[in-house]
Every structure is written in structure tokens, then in C-alpha cells.
Amino acid sequence: MEITVNHLMFGLFAAMIMVFSILTVTTRRILRAATFLLLVLVATAGLYFMLNYQFMAGVQLTLYAGGIVVLIIFSILLTSHISQKFEPVGWKKAYFSALASIAGAILCITTILQHKFQATTEAAKEIDMKLIGNSMLSTDRDGYALPFEVISVLLLAAMIGAIVVAKRKKLKE
């Protein structure tokens, strides 16, 4: 197989994802974990670019990297001090969790590699913003108006809920 730039890019992103996701869950400094998570998410956005889902990549960058991770980092800034390091995980817990995770991973990967996926022969659809926008508000067979509205209600609820939960109550001394 001829090596192309695609392979190079994919290898870069895949390596980033694998290394940094493992570092995310094993590092003992919380902000490092968040940073590694950010790198994982950026690399994932890269994968989306490679899959030609540019809009999804943009959403990934905006919402995940620019939104959720920033939120997480903010909460870390509010709740942790730089001198804090996590206790090392107990060997028993670490051992069994690692065993379960590795076993699961091996199982899934073998299954994926053994399975023969059947692709459709239909022509690929060119995904541009117009199509996405129209599908999002369409009520046809391939329309997503209902989930879109439901999500909007969910987001409103989450927004109100977050405000209510985090609102500082008047401390009664």
C-alpha cells in the first residue's frame, strides 16, 4: 500500500488521540488532564476534517474544545489549587479497572476486525451548510425538526437549571 499524506495525517491524529486519552485518565494533575482532553478533542476534530465532515469538525472545535473544555478548566480554576496532586490509584482498583478496560478493548477490536462491513453503493451526498440547515428544520423523512426542537428545549432547561443550581444562596450566618 502506498503511503500518502492522508496516512500521515491519520497517524498523527490517531497517535494524539490514543496517547492523550490515556494520559487524560492517568495523569495526577487535574489541569493537565484537562489539557490532554483538549488535545484529544482537537485531534478528533481533525479526524472529522479527514472524514470531510467540516461542519461537525467546526462544531467539535467550538462546542467541545472551545466550550466544554473551557468550562471544565474554569471549574478547575475555581475548585483546585496548583499544588494539588491526585492520590495514586490503589493498585487493586487500577489493576481490575485496567483489566476490564483492556479486555473490553481487545474484545471490541477483534470483533471490529473480524466483521465484514457492507457499504452501500449509493452515491455520496455532498454535505454543505445549506443541506444541514434544511435537514435540521425539515419535517420530511430525513428531517430533524423534532430532535432539533427537543434539543432546544433541553438546552433551555439545562441553562435555567445550571443558573439555579449555581446561584449563590444568601448565607445565613
Partner 1 sequence: MSGFQYAVLIPIIPFLMFLLIGLVGHKMKPALAGLIGTTGLFISTVLSYITAYQYFFVSGKVDGVYQKIIAFNTVWLQLTDKLHIDMGVMIDPISVMMLIVVTTVSLMVHIYSNGYMKGERGFQRFFAFLGLFSFSMLGLVLATNIFQMYIFWELVGVSSFLLISFYYDKPSAVAAGKKAFIVTRFADLGFLIGILLLSYFTQTFDFVTLTSPGCPAIAQAAGVTFMGASVVTIALVLMFMGGAGKSAMFPLHIWLPDAMEGPTPVSALIHAATMVVAGVFLVARLFPIFALTSPDALTIVAYVGGFTSLFAAVIACTQNDIKRVLAYSTISQIGYMMLALGVSGYGGHDGLGFMAGNFHLFTHAMFKALLFLGAGSIIHAVHSNLMTEMGGLRKYLPITHITFLIACLTIAGVPFLSGFFSKDEILTAAYHHDKILFFVEYAVAGLTAFYMFRLYFNVFWGEDRHYHHTPHESPLIMTLPLMFLAFASIFAGYIPFSELVTSDGAAFEAHIEMPIAAASVGIGLLGIFVAWFMYMKPKDAPAKMATMFKHVYKWSYNKFYMDEVYLFVTKKIIFNYISKPVAWFDRHVVDATMNGFAWATNYASYHIRELQSGQLQKYAFVFISGVLVLVLSFVYFFMN
Partner 2 sequence: MPFTFSIYDFTGFTQWIDATLRGACSPFWAVLWEMVIVGVLFLAFYAVVGLYLVYAERKVCAFIQNRVGPNRVGPYGFFQTIADLIKLLMKEIISIREADKLLFNLAPFIVIVTSFLALAAIPFAKGLHPIDLNIGVFYVMAISSMGVVGILLAGWSSNSKYSLLGAMRSGAQIISYELSVGMALVTMCVLAGSLQLSVIVEQQRDLWFIFKGHFPAVTAFIIYMIAATAETNRGPFDLAEAESELAAGFHTEYSGIKFAFFFLAEYMNMFIVASLAATVFLGGWMPFHIPGLESFNHVMDFIPPVLWYIGKTAFIILLMMWFKWTFPRLRIDQLLNLEWKFLLPISLVNILIMAFIVLMGWYIGL
Partner 3 sequence: MLNAGIPMEAFLVVSTLMFFAGVYGFLTRRNLITILMSVELILNSVNINFLVFNRFLYPDKLQGHFFSLFIIAIAAAEAAVAIAIIINIYRHFNTINVEDVDKMRY
Which residues are near partner 1 by CB under 8 A? 96-97, 100-101, 103-104, 107
Residue 18: closest CA among 93, 105, 91, 115: 105
Picked from partner 2, partner 1, partner 3, none, the partner binding residue 32 (CB below 5 to 8 A depending on kind) is partner 2
Would you state the cell numbers that stand for residue 46, as one nine-digit string?
Answer: 481533525
CB of 45 to partner 2, least distance (A): 8
DSSP string, 45-86: HHHHHHTT-HHHHHHIIIIIIIIIHHHHHHHHHHH--TT--P
One symbol per residue from 139 to 158: x for binding partner 3 (CB under 8 A), - otherwise; what is it? ---x-x--x---x--xx-xx
Q: Is 29 in the site for partner 2 (CB under 8 A)?
A: yes
Residues in 16-75 that interact with partner 3 by CB under 8 A = 17-18, 21-22, 24-26, 30, 33-34, 37, 40-41, 44, 47-53, 56, 59-60, 63-64, 67-68, 71-72, 74-75
Is residue 4 part of the contact set for partner 2 (CB under 8 A)?
A: yes
The rounded distance, in Å, linking the Cα atoms of 156 and 160 is: 6
3-class secondary structure, 44 = helix
Contact between 8 and partner 3 by CB under 8 A: the answer reads: no
The three three-digit cell numbers of residue 89, written as one number: 490509584
* Residue the block writes with cell 467541545: 64
3-state class (DSSP) for residue 110? helix
Chain residues 55-74 in contact with partner 2, contact rule CB under 8 A:
55, 57-59, 61-62, 65-67, 69-70, 73-74
Q: Does 76 bind partner 3 (CB under 8 A)?
A: yes
